[in-house]
A and B are shown apart, each in its own frame.
Chain A
Amino acid sequence: MENLDKKIRIEIIKMLVKRGFGHIGGSMSVVELLAVLYGEVMNVDPKNPNWEERDYLVLSKGHAGPALYSTLALKGFFDKEMLMTLNEPHTNLPSHCDRQKTPGIDMTTGSLGQGLSAAVGIAQAIKLQGKNNRVFTIVGDGELQEGQCFEALQYAAHHELDNLVVFVDENKLQLDGYTKDICKQGDLVTKFNTFDLHTVRCDGHDMKAIKESINNALVTPHKPSVIVLDTIKAKGVAFLENDLGNHHVRFTDEQIILLNEIVKELESEL
């Protein structure tokens, strides 16, 4: 699908503007990744979201739900109009992903650190079942402060789950500020390589680079892969990029005007 990244950005902004607030920062930083996964890599069937042969995605950083919802709608999992119901009472699109509500959502997430274990469980089940489906999961860099992530990664390495690719959205910010100021993590590539995980870093906004990293990950035998994506939180929204308060934003009238301009500009590029 051409310009999928731009289309996803447009839909994210529209749905958050409609609501007036939302998790814009962490949604915008994973757009290129989702465009590559759903545009080029993953085997999915929008008409049959529970297809047993599909590849799985667990968005462990569940607050980036709006980015995934936009992607799923563009892929045809549900009508685009549904995007406008984000966070409305009784919506099927809650802030954080819910597998029981939204077609195409493989796991309920939102309590950080838990999605990674579930993704490992899906990958383990697929191995036990002798199948070849692939499992992708996206964690935040801040999320890696949760100890459960390290339980899951140790397990995945020990069980050689090479059908699993973990993406770390290293956007360097968490809700309260820079990740390095709150609890520094050091070089994640070095760290995870010592965990016996095939780990690489790549530009998280360069779709060609992402694709290449995934292709390499998928042919690395006996090791799960970690791809650390160097990203910018709120990428594409210039006035919020790297703003310390961009995790969850309640937009001012001026900001809404600016956001609408971004949509117009992106639309003109399609």
Chain B
Amino acid sequence: MSILLKQVPALAKEEMRKVYSNTMSELANENKNIVLMEADLMGAIATKGYMDAHPDRFINVGIMEQHMMGLAAGLSVRGMVPFVHTFGPFATRRSYDQVFLSLGYAGLNAKIIGSDAGISASHNGGTHMPFEDIGLMRLIPNATVLEMSDHVMFDDVLKQVTDTYGLHYIRIVRKNMVQLYEAGSKFEIGKGITLREGNDAVIIATGIMIAEALKASEELKKEGINVGVVDMFTIKPLDTKLVKELAKSTKLIVTAENHNIIGGLGSAVLEALEDVPSKVKRVGVNDLFGQVGPQDFLQEEYKLTSKEIIRVIKENL
């Protein structure tokens, strides 16, 4: 079970990338089929610890993402469990046909970790800033598409996907995220997590936008507006049952994502509600390319803030 931390959410001490290296090292002690693969971003994702622990099951492929996906397919044909990491745009956009066909269509088993979710690519700018990766991956039949909410969730999800055959895309922030859950929390893929109840409106959020949603809910509460918050880390399969229930129990659903509002969480929620009378508003990147800047600047620039969520809720209630 996932348990929301009691204290006010704050940045975790532990970086997401640290969890990746540590959890995978641990898992690879037990599971001899795990292979970690990098395309020359080992330094960025800090997997040296894993490499030192399991040098025989670590491959730094070189700067060739398309080939890395095909290589993963071949490893999977032989029953191995490849974990492939690169920056989100290269893991999806650049090598899309390889992921789509050699892994997805071929029915193979691979775990793709796409790092630097949305604006967290920060100073790497527009070339490295994925606002479309979730959308692309959702279009692959049978793929599982997840966005990590904090390092506690990431640890649990890595353990789960190791033992689940299929193509998984796991979108992460590389560095520190706000810690939402108590250590040891368990998560169920396909089930959204209600963090806060509220009958006026509900915010369905992913990734860094969950902390913004909690802030917005807190602020609005002071004004007597009760806003629920749901962590929808499982974008595919989406928790459609929960989304439909929320559409019935509240007047307004606001989605909040660090991604283009086309193709991502907002689209998925709208699709789930095609037969349910409802009002849905999407907060996210409004069909724009990325750019360089510190994360707080980018958050303002693309209106990925609690302030924007509050504005949208007030305007639509």
Contacts and interface: CB of A to CB of B under 8 A. Distances in A.
B78 A126 contact: yes
B181 interface: no
Interface in A24-82: 56
Nearest to A129: B78
Closest 5 CB pairs of A and B: A121-B74, A117-B70, A125-B78, A151-B67, A108-B106
A175 B209 CA distance: 49
A138 B134 CA distance: 34
Interface of B: 35, 56-57, 59, 61-62, 64, 66-67, 69-80, 97-98, 101-102, 105-107
Contact of B97 (A111, A125, A126, A152): A111
Given A121-B74, A121-B76, 16 more contacts: A100-B106, A107-B106, A108-B105, A114-B97, A116-B70, A117-B66, A117-B73, A120-B67, A122-B75, A122-B78, A124-B74, A125-B80, A128-B57, A151-B66, A152-B70, A155-B61
25 contacts: A107-B77, A107-B106, A108-B106, A108-B107, A110-B101, A111-B101, A114-B102, A117-B69, A117-B73, A118-B71, A118-B74, A118-B77, A118-B102, A120-B71, A121-B70, A121-B73, A122-B75, A122-B77, A123-B74, A124-B75, A128-B75, A129-B80, A148-B67, A151-B66, A155-B67
B77 A121 contact: yes
User: Which of B62, B73, B74, B77 has the most C-beta atoms of chain A within 10 angstroms of its own C-beta?
Assistant: B74
Contacts of B101: 108, 110-111, 114
Contacts of A170: none
B74 A120 contact: yes
A87 B61 CA distance: 37
Interface residues of A, number: 32
Contacts of A124: 59, 71, 74-75
A147 B57 CA distance: 26
A180 interface: no
B272 to A, nearest CB: 29
A157 B77 CA distance: 21
Given A114-B97, A148-B67, A125 B74 contact: yes
A133 to B, nearest CB: 9
A113 B98 CA distance: 9
A117 B97 CA distance: 13
B107 A151 contact: no
B57 A106 contact: no
A191 interface: no
B77 A106 contact: yes
Contacts of A129: 78, 80
